[in-house]
Chains A and B, each alone.
Chain A
Amino acid sequence: MHEESDSALIARAKEDPEAFGLLYERYAAGIYNYIYYRTSNHHDAEDLTARTFYRALKHISRYVDRGAPFSAYLYRIAHNIVANWHRDHSRQRIISLDELVMGSPKREEPAAVAEEREEQDLLLQAVRRLPSERQQLLILKFVEQMSNAEIAQVMGRTEGAIKSLYHRTLVALRKELASVGNGWEEITERMKDEQETNG
């Protein structure tokens, strides 16, 4: 069956509550993912996802379709809500349960799995230390698998600006990983060698 377009659903949502429900179903997972990678725990991801959709619902009657996708509007709301959340939490460092569970290698894990987990933790921690717009770019690109054109629409920039921001982000991330020292490059090199030997 032909899927109803976002524009049609938005127009209908002003009079029909089920239409907003359909928009929610379409974007719930994407927004949740975005917020999860920005907050690094499921509890806050649920809370902020709910706030994002409530805010969108509150303003849906005044939403004007200017050609940009509805997802861009939702990601902008989520981005602002996450920024406020970070500002409120900046004074206290909370180590989430997810971080504790994901971050500590289990004793029974084989060494290779533990190493890979360690490398992944280092990388994600370094990503979280990047400025918020760079984190946003990486999440939209790798988690949401958006094209540069789609990211440009969400972030309100040109495609060229996104490409150059991506370049700068990778360079900064590499520097950040080098500054944490021994871990990352060595592990990556070793894993690459292992993959080549096995492959």
Chain B
Amino acid sequence: MAEVLSAHAEGLTGRPEAMQRLNVTAKERSRMSPLFRLAERLQQSMQPVQPPTAFVHSLGKELTDNAKRQIALTKRLRQAVMIVAAALGSLVSIASLVGAIIFVVVRLRARAQARTLRTPVG
């Protein structure tokens, strides 16, 4: 029954082939006729309405302007993120370099001290 009603509705909305594929007997058809009639009345009563042209136009313009601002903001945000990331990267690199230099200096000093201590006096 759901299949037949559905095919009937498809027929009402311009797709009659669904109903043609089904073999509906006259008895079935008469049993379902109140629901068919209800569907037909629904189809007649629920007609598309046209949105006011001025509204469609002004909302379209507002949305496009808003999209422009949103894209510009996203771009600026992306740029800011890139700058911050680059700055952080540079800081980390400099810190690593300084760390490495300090490490090498400390090691060299420690070696020099050790050599001084091992050298016999006189």
Q: Which residues of A contact B (CB under 8 A)?
A: 13-18, 20-21, 24-25, 28-29, 32-33, 36-37, 42, 45-46, 49-50, 53-54, 57-58, 61, 119-120, 123-124, 127, 138-139, 141-148, 162-164, 166-167, 170-171, 173-174, 177, 188, 192
B37-53 vs A, Cβ < 8 Å mask (1 yes, 0 no)? 11101111111111110
Known: A28-B59, A49-B51, A49-B59. A188 touches B67 (CB 8 A): no
Roughly how many angstroms separate A105 CA and B60 CA in the complex, as a whole number?
36
Q: Output the residue of A139, A170, A177 with the most chain B CB within 10 A.
A: A170
From DSSP, what is the main secondary structure of chain A's interface residues? helix
Q: Number of contacting residues on B, CB 8 A? A: 42
Shortest C-beta distance, A145 to chain B (Å), equals 4
**Contact partner of B51 among A29, A123, A162, CB < 8 A?**
A29
**Nearest CB on B from A48, distance (A):** 12
Interchain CA distance A93-B14 in the complex, whole Å = 37
Q: Which residues of A contact B42 (CB under 8 A)?
A: 123, 127, 138, 142, 173
State the total of A-B contacts with C-beta under 8 angstroms.
122
Measured CA separation A199–B48 after assembly (Å): 26
Closest to A185 in B: B34
Beta-carbon contact of A61 and B74 below 8 Å = yes
**Partner of B71 from A17, A53, A119 at Cβ < 8 Å:** A17
Contacts of B10 in A (CB 8 A): 147-148
Given contacts A166-B9, A174-B38, 11 further A-B contacts (CB under 8 A): A15-B71, A17-B71, A20-B63, A46-B55, A57-B63, A57-B66, A120-B45, A123-B41, A127-B42, A146-B13, A170-B39
